[in-house]
Structure 1
Amino acid sequence: MTTSPPFLPYGRQTIEDDDVAAVAAALRADFLTTGPTVEAFETAFKTQVGAEHAIAVANGTATLHLAMLALGVGEGDVCIAPSITFLATANCARYVGAEVVFADVDPHSGLMTPDTLAAALARCGDRPVKAILPVHLRGDVCDLPAMRGMASAAGAVLVEDAPHALGSVATFDGVEHPVGDGAYSAFASFSFHPVKTLATGEGGMLTTNDAQLAARARSLRGHGMVRPPGADPWWYEMPEIGFNYRIPDVLCALGLSQLAKLDRFVARRRTLTALYVERLADLSPRVRRATSPDYSNPALHLLTVLIDFDALDLSRRMVVDGLKAHGIGSQVHYIPVHQQPYYVKRYGALDLPGAQAWYDRCLTLPLYPTMADSDVDRVVDALSKVLAR
């Protein structure tokens, strides 16, 4: 009797025995939430990425919301976000009453570029631009030096949306910068959703080199409460309203355990990516891997390929279903946010040809550390068979 090989999802967490032991130890400790493990996770994380401050929160969306609040973004302000991203990148501006101007992306990488940012800035008119949110899609890094210069000229700051890019490195002017080091941005935002490079179940982290921004984000994470110096130990004040965006010690214990393995996770992702590059060459030009900028050394969270479905006379749904029949999962990252009904109703129809071209061709294939080398062969072989139909 033969058994089918296991289903390969497009992404999944890597949880090992020491992770389980770390969580069990946290469950037996004195604090389940708002305890010392949160601070320990923050300290280890900021050391890992080279930032001055790290603020752990409940999820990745909360990091972006807190960044907007800490920066004072509000009614009458404009934030620029690429259309190829998850909904939260744009939504965080709307949470605080700001408007969103969508930037187009490079159709081959999915990244916002200086040129597409310049076009978005031009569409802002005389409205004040408060924040620009470059998204390090798949793990590849945006051109941060150029974008910071453009942001400064517009009176804005950068907030890096980096959930895909933990472990990625970019070389600018001969200097290597780990994503999250704060060299070019006011904040960098990370997510620890299960399919991300580091998993806590749910959770997120903000990094910054600005002590005042860090203090404000910490306060807003916990209802806006502060304790003035010298106050009685039970005393608290709420100078401004905040949110309950705290993260439990139990999840931070898992995060600490995962963070200790980050270098191994990153190395494995890079090895698998190199195998994909080699094998996918056999399918060119029908299938091409998303391009990476020369300065970017990514720890890819997503292995995205671009397929000319029209030339193959195949719909994407046919390919997705065909891969599934072979036990291969896939996903689409992302539907252009500017096409979502809420934003169409608010801003009308927009013509962003790069985002449309990316969406029309993109498909994400399995990539996660516990994949075997042979799994890459299996994925590419299945894709070849499905496309040959």
Structure 2
Amino acid sequence: MIDKPAVAGGKPVRENSLPLAEASVHENDILAVTGVLRGGKLGCGETVQKFERAVAKYVGARYAVAVSSGAAGLHIALMSAAVGHQEEVITSPLTHPATANCILYQGGIHTFADIDSATFNIDPGVVATKISSRTAALIPVHFAGNPCNMEALHRLAREHNLIVIEDAAHALGGEYGGQKIGALSDLTVFSFSDPQHCYTGEGGVVTTDSEEFYQWMLIFRENGMVRDPQKLARPEGPWRVEMQDRGYNYRMTEMQAALGIGQLARAEEFIARRTAIAEKYNRALAGHPAVVLPEQNPRGRSTWHYYLLALRLENLKASRSDIFYALRAENIEVGVHYLPVFLHPYYLWIGHPDVCTLEGSLCLQAEELYNRLLTLPLYPAMTDRDVDDVITAVIRVLDYYTL
């Protein structure tokens, strides 16, 4: 007999709800933050610089610039690369809207290249068909922490003289070709906002090996202000500060950096635990007729930021919505990541002909996949019992609805 799920009258797997994500904050993290508060210097200062050096060392980059969010990092990365008005930037549709919003901030044109249905990452073959004389940059997204095919993307960038800015919001600690993500491309942007596995509340970091990009990003995150006497247009004394470009207040605070330093020190621990949970899910769910698991890049190391299931709806007598609510009824919180960016109302309303597609499909694979996606809980603080509960609930629900 099939075990009835809670929505069909069975007893829920759990009495209390298991969250989809949760930060792992230890007492040492709290002490580090309170230590900064007691010190009295709370703005962007020495602790932020220490955090930047730690991130740069961890990923193997020459420079790192800490900012208020990953979205801010994407923006100043484009600014430092001088990508601007009416220039095209190719990115993935399967991402947070911030990835494409930064292009709009610069007056650029966003062009979405469809995904590889096996890996859920941007497809280099489709990218090649989207490159035009106005294309200036690529923003590949390491979706759910699974590294993109950077070899193919870098080859395209070299052939067409394009800047590559990696959106590695999900991929701190990930690897491609035996190297840490963060020093592979012109610029790489990390997020430390909730629910990233290394956490500063809100925050981001941009890494680069280019001193020119680094110096520009320092200016852009500081409202365009310059304080270094050697760089002033008109030196007149230590009191003079000049605005030399249009910038933004994208600074990180000392408290965030203090938390980030402690979190970064545990990055490998976090990834190891996430990987162990993901592998347990893989063993339990591989081969189930109702789901497809994303292929992992054989040349990379995933950070397993999210654990994604793609439902085989043709093998189910239920919709994605039915499965979603059935798992919630088992007290397992699940999610859906992400609505393709061009389907958000704003992107339809702005009316760019490459975006406002009223007939047909702009990115068929991404749209089709979105309608089948579910995200399962996966975070370091999960216990083995929590993981077992998720597996029990998923298999119970899938078995009940499988044709």
**Residue segments in structure 2 that go unaligned for 5+ positions in a row:** 1-11
Equivalent position of 1:142 in the other structure: 148
Shift of 1:276: 0.8
Q: Give, in angstroms, the shift of residue 3 of structure 1.
A: 11
Distance in 2 between residues matched to 1:194 and 1:93, nearest whole Å: 23
Task: Describe the superposition over 1:3-34 as per-residue Cα deviations: whole angstroms up to 9, x where unpaired.
Answer: 95442222121111111111111111131112
- Please report how far the alpha carbon of residue 294 of structure 1 lies from its aligned counterpart in structure 2 after TM superposition: 1.3
Tell me if 1:177 matches 2:179.
Answer: yes
Q: Which amino acid aligns with 1:352?
A: C
Q: Which AA in structure 2 matches 1:23? A: V
In 2, Cα distance between equivalents of 1:92 and 1:351: 20
The equivalent residue for 2:196 is 196
Q: Is the 8 A contact 2:80 2:213 kept in 1?
A: yes
Counterpart Cα distance in 2 of 1:188 and 1:76: 23
Match of 2:38 in 1: 28
- The answer to whether the aligner puts 1:227 opposite 2:227 as a matched pair is yes
5+ long unaligned stretches in structure 1? none
Q: Which amino acid aligns with 1:149?
A: R
Residue of structure 2 aligned with 1:63, choices 59, 63, 73: 73
Aligned counterparts of 1:3 and 1:274: Cα–Cα separation in 2: 21
Shift of 1:310: 4.1
Q: Measured at CA, do residues 72 and 372 of structure 1 come closer, stay the same or move farther in structure 2, by a change above 3 Å?
A: same
Contact map agreement 1:79 1:93 (CA 8 A) in 2 = yes
SS at match of 2:157: helix
Q: Distance in 1 between matches of 2:32 and 2:324?
A: 37
User: Cα offset for 1:73?
Assistant: 1.2
Residues 156-185 of structure 1: CA deviation (Å, up to 9, x unaligned): 1100000100111111xxxx110112x2x1
The within-5 A match list for 1:108-147 is: 108-121=118-131, 124=132, 126=133, 128-147=134-153
Give the letter aligned to residue 150 of structure 1. Answer: L
How far apart in 2 are the matches of 1:28 and 1:35?
15
Contact between 2:150 and 2:176, CA under 8 Å: does it hold in 1? Answer: no
Which of 49, 53, 61 is residue 59 of structure 2 equivalent to?
A: 49
Match of 2:105 among 75, 95, 105: 95
Q: Is the 8 A contact 1:111 1:135 kept in 2?
A: yes
How many angstroms does 1:380 deviate by?
A: 1.6
Matches within 5 A, 1:213-362: 213-230=213-230, 231=235, 232-281=237-286, 284-344=288-348, 345-347=351-353, 348-349=356-357, 350-362=361-373
Secondary structure of the corresponding residue to residue 225 of structure 2: coil
Note if contact 1:44-1:256 (Cα within 8 Å) is conserved in structure 2.
yes
Q: Deviations over 1:291-323 (max 9, x none)?
A: 112112111100001111343021112111111
Q: Is the 8 A contact 1:7 1:329 kept in 2?
A: yes
Change (3 A) 1:108 1:3: closer
Structure 1 residue 263 displacement after superposition: 1.2
Q: Is the Cα–Cα contact under 8 Å of residues 55 and 214 in structure 1 kept in the other structure? A: yes
Show CA shifts across 1:271-303 (max 9, x none).
11111111112x612112211121121111000
TM-score (norm. length: structure 2): 0.90
2:13 and 2:392 in contact (8 A); partners too: no
Cα offset for 1:68?
1.1
Q: Could you state the TM-score of these two structures normalised by the residue count of structure 1?
A: 0.93
- Higher mean displacement: 92-101 or 378-387: 378-387
Whole-Å Cα distance in 2 between the matches of residues 55 and 329 of structure 1?
35
Deviations 1:339-383 (A, max 9, x none): 223323323214312112221211110000011122222112111
> Does the 8 A contact of 1:108 with 1:358 survive in 2?
no
Counterpart of 1:16 in structure 2 is 26
1:157 match:
163
Distance 1:228 1:371, change over 3 A: closer
- Greater Cα shift, 108-117 or 74-83: 108-117
SS in 2 for 1:106: coil
Matched, 1:78 2:88: yes
- CA deviation vs aligned residue, 1:100-158 (integer Å, no higher than 9, x gap): 1110001122101221211222xx4x3x2111000000101111122112112222110
1:143 maps to a residue whose letter is N
Q: Is the 8 A contact 2:292 2:312 kept in 1?
A: no
Q: Percent identity?
A: 35
**Are the equivalent residues in 2 in contact too, given 1:80–1:102 (CA < 8 A)?**
yes
